[in-house]
Chains A and B, each alone.
Chain A
Amino acid sequence: MFDNVWLIPLFPLIGFLINGLLGKKIKNETVIGGIASLAVFGSFIVSCKTFLGLISLPADKRVVDVKIFSWITAGNFNADIAFLIDPLSCLMILIVTGIGFLIHIYSIGYMHGEDGFYRFFAYLNLFIFSMLLLVLGNNLLLMFVGWEGVGLCSYLLIGYYFKKKSAGDAGKKAFVMNRVGDFGFLLGIFGLFWYLGQNHNVWTVQFTELSNSAHLLPTGGIVTFITLCFFLGATGKSAQIPLYTWLPDAMEGPTPVSALIHAATMVTAGVYMIGRMSYIFVRAPETMVVVAVVGACTALFAATIGTAQNDIKRVLAYSTVSQLGYMVLAMGVGAFTAGVFHLMTHAFFKACLFLGSGAVIHSMHGALHHVHSHDDAQDMRNMGGLKKYMPLTFLTFLIATIAIAGIPGFSGFFSKDEILWQAFANPLHGGLNTFLWAMGAVAAGLTAFYMFRLVFMTFFGETRIKAGAEKYLHESPMVIVIPLIVLAALSIVGGYVGIPKLIGDVFGGIPNYLEHYLHPVFANANAYMAAHAHTAHHSHALEWGLMGTSVVIALIGISIAAFLYLVNPTLPAKFTATFPGLHRAVYNKWYIDELYDFVIVNPCKTLGRFLWRGFDVVVIDGLVNGVAHVVMAFGGVVRYLQTGQVYSYAWTMAFGVVVIIGYYLFK
């Protein structure tokens, strides 16, 4: 049934090879973009077929390993190139290839005329390939290969405009910070493999076998250490505190990259990884606390920074960090389905938002270029009133904004509310729950505020673009608008696959399809939690009340944004004048980058400089040069033996022969 699963990663790989090796010769943008898009579309078709095949199976048979070929075999240890087809991986490949395809189409329009057009599409295809390996891999090692692959593509694409120093620096920052996380991930793999092998003779890195052996793991102790290592990997990839600072800088890459890699897919890999190993994480209660708290803090912290940024993509970047915080929070409170649900809806509306901002930037850039202005095309202070120039972009952007703000009826509402409810009602964290919920709720209000601030500053009010440039503002070509419309539509309907039971019951018992669908994946973890944690029963009234509260908070956030940026546009300036310190701190991202520079980066640089100037130059070079000097001095003495006179060589040889023969004669 799943015989052709291997085609899913193969298509993008072929696309990568064609564009990477021949793209420079092809030159024709339509052909290059077409090959790349077609490759991803092919994967999407096969993914759909796989998905249909999976749901036609009975629920308890929906975990299938498809072995392609043997990879590493050593003694008891086996790691295959094999794909795990289960509801979670199936959902992920649909998101990756589906949204990936839309963004490829969009990129054909967006990247038109850029230097290295072929390079962009080659990297993009390589990224899709790596991401598919990551989500499909049936063992930790293959997953790690994909994990590193997407990190590499992220680095390459952030640094796409490599002639700009800031882009190169941002790429390096992303790579180095991800390396910190990868180090944790690797330690986690080693730890788990070693522990199970040493103590229970289960030498495996394969997910299905790990799931079957999870009951051998103790609660806490070594498992806490292992899961914390894994979580360090997740904080790197999914941009959580403390390793989140690379993601806002990653906005140096082209906007489609921000949408695909740094919003919809790659950054969710950490969340996916926790979900994939949920049965191990639930066995480490301390880790779950850490995960939940880190998630909640990230959600709130990043949201505060988002409120004061003026660069349209930076607002979205901090929004992404914040939303990833929600997903991690969901994982930490054991609401794995809700986390994956938010992962999915977030992929829709955040991709739409990023692509919409890309369309805005594209149009702004063109208009400013026409009037030879050097104003920043990404600065919202230069925008305003774009609604009437770009109506379709505006409409899709507004839909996605409503979705992320959590207004009932749109996808973000269902997923975010489910997370908040689970944060409050989960059986794991006891007294901490109220705090987790409160942080999430405040972050939701801030989300609504900064997103509508963005919309109001960009699309409403007076046009603040340099005079004369506004007549060059225009709606984007269809190749850009159509993906926006599709994603906006998904931002509305995407939430209806996971209607909470509470609301579903009101409308005549609509089931939570997503929960049923994902049930086999999290069954192991859920069974453990049901057995070990006391589930408190909360009344429906409380759930309705909390739901209402979060909606009200979101509406308050929107109202404040409307009041400050629509009704009284002068007020924000007054506000910043009244609290200059606070504004400066938020605007400068709470000086976290500066703190990291001070505490980690600069000491490392100092150490590096010491090792270079002090150790390498003096000790190592001294040793090597010293040996050379000794040899030279010795050679300087003995070289006088070479007289160049034939007779002296002949005499020396004859003398030597006499000495040797004499020795043997008279010894």
Chain B
Amino acid sequence: MDNLSNYLILSAVLFSIGTIGVLVRRNIIVMFMCIELMLNAVNLTFVALSRHLGNLDGQVFVFFIMTVAAAEAAVGLAMFIAFFNNRESIDADDASLMKW
């Protein structure tokens, strides 16, 4: 119980790694994995606090997030395949037509 802060620190570290990964990497599959990492860092926070507070709401949330993440993975991978078919690339810099 006392080591709640350990969980939260681990979660913060994972979240930061994810964020930095999204910001600095150009490979969209890696960016996507970083986003998953951020989601799971949040999940870890939820579970840890749920246990700390003795309230199951946080765990229910985690189920929802995992479901959404699964759906998101399916949609995202489909988009990457479509993108690759068009550009023969998985580099985010090649998706740059949405500008002035």
Binding site for B on A (CB under 8 A): 639-640, 642-647, 650-651, 654
Contacts and interface: CB of A to CB of B under 8 A. Distances in A.
Given A643-B96, A645-B96, A647-B23, 14 more contacts: A639-B100, A640-B100, A642-B100, A644-B95, A644-B96, A644-B97, A645-B99, A646-B96, A647-B92, A650-B22, A650-B23, A651-B23, A654-B22, A654-B23
Interface of B: 19, 22-23, 26, 28, 31, 92-93, 95-100
A235 to B, nearest CB: 66
Contact of B93 (A639, A640, A645, A654): A645
Contacts of A644: 95-100
A643 B99 CA distance: 5
Contacts of A643: 96, 99
A426 B22 CA distance: 104
A647 B100 CA distance: 16
15 contacts: A639-B100, A643-B96, A644-B98, A645-B92, A645-B93, A645-B99, A646-B28, A646-B31, A646-B93, A646-B95, A646-B96, A647-B23, A650-B22, A650-B23, A654-B19
Contacts of B19: 654
The binding surface of chain A is classed by DSSP as helix
Contacts of A654: 19, 22-23
Contacts of B95: 644, 646
B26 A647 contact: yes
B76 to A, nearest CB: 13
**A-B pairs with lowest CB-CB distance, top 8:** A644-B99, A644-B96, A646-B92, A639-B100, A644-B98, A642-B99, A645-B96, A643-B99
A345 B3 CA distance: 113
A535 to B, nearest CB: 92
B44 to A, nearest CB: 19
A344 to B, nearest CB: 80
A662 to B, nearest CB: 15
A639 to B, nearest CB: 4
Contacts of B93: 645-647
A324 to B, nearest CB: 72
| Max count, chain B CB within 10 A of own CB: residue among A640, A642, A650, A651 | A650
Contacts of A639: 100
Nearest to A645: B96
Nearest to B99: A644
Contacts of B28: 646
Contacts of A647: 23, 26, 92-93
A156 B96 CA distance: 62
| Max count, chain A CB within 10 A of own CB: residue among B22, B95, B100 | B100
A647 B28 CA distance: 11
A640 B22 CA distance: 23
B24 to A, nearest CB: 8
Nearest to A658: B19
Contacts of A651: 23
A31 B88 CA distance: 74
A258 to B, nearest CB: 67
A646 B100 CA distance: 14
Contacts of B23: 647, 650-651, 654
